[in-house]
Amino acid sequence: MSLRIIFMGTPDFSVPTLRALSHAGHEIAAVYSQPPRPAGRRGLELTPSPVHRFAEELCIPVLNPLNFRNPDDVERFKAFDADVAVVVAYGLLLPEAVLNGTRLGCYNGHASLLPRWRGAAPIQRAIMAGDARTGMMIMKMDKGLDTGPVALSEEVEIPIDMTAGELHDLLSEVGAMLMVEAMHRLEQNDLPLSEQVDEGVLYAAKISKEEARLDFNQPAIELHNRIRGLSPFPGAWFEAEIGGKAERIKVLRSQLATGEAVPGTVLDEGLAIACSEGAIRLMRLQRAGGKALETAEFCRGTTLPVGSRVG
C-alpha cells in the first residue's frame, strides 16, 4: 500500500523529505514549489528552486502558483485527488480550501520543538537564543501559523559550536525519516495527534539585515550564538580598517575565548576579540568578494594588529 501525496516545498531543506517519500514507495502526484527566482551575479536568470529541480529529475509535475487566491489554483490542487499533502518549508500560508483539499489533510515538517519557535527561522533563532536542544516535529496543519496538533517529534542536541548550516543539514535528514514514519502510520490509521500546549510559545521572525552586524559591547556568548546562528547565511559581520579604509568582514565560525580589554580590541594574533564580558575567537572569516578562510590563512593576507579596534 502507498499514499497518493502532493508535496509542497522549496529550499534544499525540503529535498531529503521528497526523496525519502519517493523511495518509500509513495506516489507523488504533484510537487508545489515557489516560482523560479532571479539568480546569478546579475540576477537576470530565473532559477527553479532546489525542490523544483529535484522533482523534474523524478519526472513529477511541478506547479508554481504565486499564491492560492485564484480559485483555479485551488481547484487544480483538489483535482489531483490526493490522499494527503506534505509541506516542508514551502514558503506560503495555505488557505483552508487547500488545507482541506485532500482526503487526510496537510502535514508539515517543522524544524523546532513546538510551540517554541513557530514561524520562518526556527533553526537560526534556536541557535541565536543559545538553545541546547531542538528537533523536528510533524504536525497536522490548521489555519494558524504552526499551531496545528503534533503527530511525531524527534529531539536533537545543539552543541555549543554548531552552526545553523550544520543544524539545517542534520534536521533535514531527521525530518525526512520522521515524515516517512508519519505517512506510514497515517496509512495504517495509527498516527496520534496531540494539541500544542499554550505555554512556551515563541515566534521565529525572519532574520533582518540589522541583526547581522556584530556589536562587541555585548557578552561573548551572545556574539558567539549570533555568529553560528547566522552561518553560513547571511553571515554575521563587523568592520575593520584595512589599507586605510573600513571594510566589512564576515565571521562564519567562532569560539569562546578568554581575555579582557576595551570591547572590540584585538587581543592576540589568533584574532581573539574582547567583548563586554569575555572574549571571542574568530575562526573562519570572509572579506567582501573573497573566499571564506580559516584564521591562519586569513591573517596571511589581512592584518588586524594586536591592540587595534574592530567593530
Q: Looking at the domain assignment, is residue 107 inside a domain?
A: yes
pLDDT number for residue 80: 98
SS3 string, 277-311, reads CCEEEEEEEEECCCCEEEHHHHHHHCCCCCCCECC
Q: Does residue 241 sit in the same domain as residue 256?
A: yes
Q: Over the stretch 109-156, which tens digit does the pLDDT of each residue have? A: 999 999 999 999 999 999 999 999 999 999 999 999 999 999 999 999
Q: Does residue 148 sit in the same domain as residue 222?
A: no
The per-residue b/e assignment along 263-299, b for 16 or more CB within 10 angstroms, e otherwise, is bbbbbeeebbbbbeebbbbbbbbbbeeeebbebeebb
pLDDT number for residue 45: 83
Q: Over the stretch 184-205, which tens digit does the pLDDT of each residue have? A: 999 999 999 999 998 999 999 9
**Distance, CA of 51 to CA of 122 (rounded, Å):** 20
**Distance, CA of 118 to CA of 100 (rounded, Å):** 22
Query: What is the chain's length?
Result: 311
Known binding-site residue numbers: 112-115
Known binding-site residue numbers for (6S)-5,6,7,8-tetrahydrofolate: 112-115
Pairing of strands 27-32, 37-39: unpaired
**Amino acid at the residue 140:** K
Q: Looking at the domain assignment, is residue 306 inside a domain?
A: no
**Distance, CA of 298 to CA of 287 (rounded, Å):** 9
Q: Looking at the domain assignment, is residue 308 inside a domain?
A: no
Tell me what the mean pLDDT of segment 258-281 comes to.
Answer: 97
**Distance, CA of 198 to CA of 241 (rounded, Å):** 49
Residue-range definition of the domain harbouring residue 144: 4-203
Pairing of strands 37-39, 45-47: antiparallel
Mutual orientation of helices 164-187 and 15-23 as an angle, nearest 10°? 30
pTM reported for the whole predicted model: 0.95
Q: Does residue 133 sit in the same domain as residue 173?
A: yes
- Number of domains making up the chain: 2
**Distance, CA of 222 to CA of 229 (rounded, Å):** 10
Q: Does residue 167 sit in the same domain as residue 250?
A: no
Q: Over the stretch 7-53, which tens digit does the pLDDT of each residue have? A: 999 999 999 999 999 999 999 999 999 999 887 666 668 899 999 99
Work out the mean pLDDT of the chain and round it to a whole number: 96
In 64-165, where do the E strands start and end? 84-88, 106-110, 118-119, 133-140, 150-157
pLDDT number for residue 41: 61
**Distance, CA of 57 to CA of 73 (rounded, Å):** 24
Cell numbers describing residue 159: 552543541
Using the predicted structure, report yes or no on whether residue 1 has a pLDDT greater than 80. Answer: no
